[in-house]
Copies of this chain bind each other. A is one copy, B any other.
Amino acid sequence: MAPVEPSSEPLASKPTGDLSASERAVSDAIGRLMQFWGFKRNMGRLWTVLYLSERPLTAQDLRDRLCLSTGAVSMTVTELLRWGVVKKVWLQGERREHFAAEGNLWKMISRVLREREQAEILDTITAMEEALRAIEPQTRAEDPEVRDRAVVQYERIKQLLELARLGRQLLDALVSTARLDASALTRFLLGGR
């Protein structure tokens, strides 16, 4: 990772300004993880900055702290709002819109798992089911060459399908666990094997 860290920590108590070294490190780390998970890196960074802020921030705060353009902040925030991981906050007296991170991590995770992962895996499952239906007749073909090929493929696709279904069940389990709380999952993972 970063080879050196300037030892002086500019813990600016001012609302606007650069991020502290720790904030930067954490938001970058989460940004990378998010990117790895298929989101835009800046979504992760922006969310983290909000999450680590003791109070809601304006678009401009975010622009300054993350060194992004106005437009980028707007678009990123919009996207995060769509995912329900950031909320708008109206502060009386304040003209500007403020934003805060959803604080319930499990709520976030389960939502992403539900909406994104499941959609993806469901498409795959559907495609494979269709393929199975298409191949099935050929497994009774006259031509032995055709038939054998069909039988092999039928078996293998069934194998894949089973795996995909297992994945779906795992996601289901995670999502419903997450809806309750994390401790159930923790207990499972640590407890009986």
* Interface set of A (CB-CB < 8 Å, partner B): 1, 9, 11, 13, 21-23, 25-26, 28-30, 32-33, 36, 38, 51-52, 54, 105, 109, 120-121, 123-124, 126-128, 130-131, 134-135, 138, 143, 145-146, 148-150, 152-153, 156-157, 159-160, 162-163, 166, 169-170, 173-174, 182, 184-186, 188-190, 193
Instruction: Assess the B148–A54 pair: CB atoms within 8 A.
Output: yes
Contact (Cβ within 8 A) B148 A33: no
**Given known A-B contacts A13-B146, A166-B185, A169-B190, A32 and B124 have beta carbons under 8 A apart:** yes
Q: A13-B145, A149-B11, A182-B166 are in contact. Are A26 and B160 (CB under 8 A)?
A: yes
Q: How many copies of this chain does one complex carry? A: 2
Bound-complex Cα distance A119 to B9 (A): 28
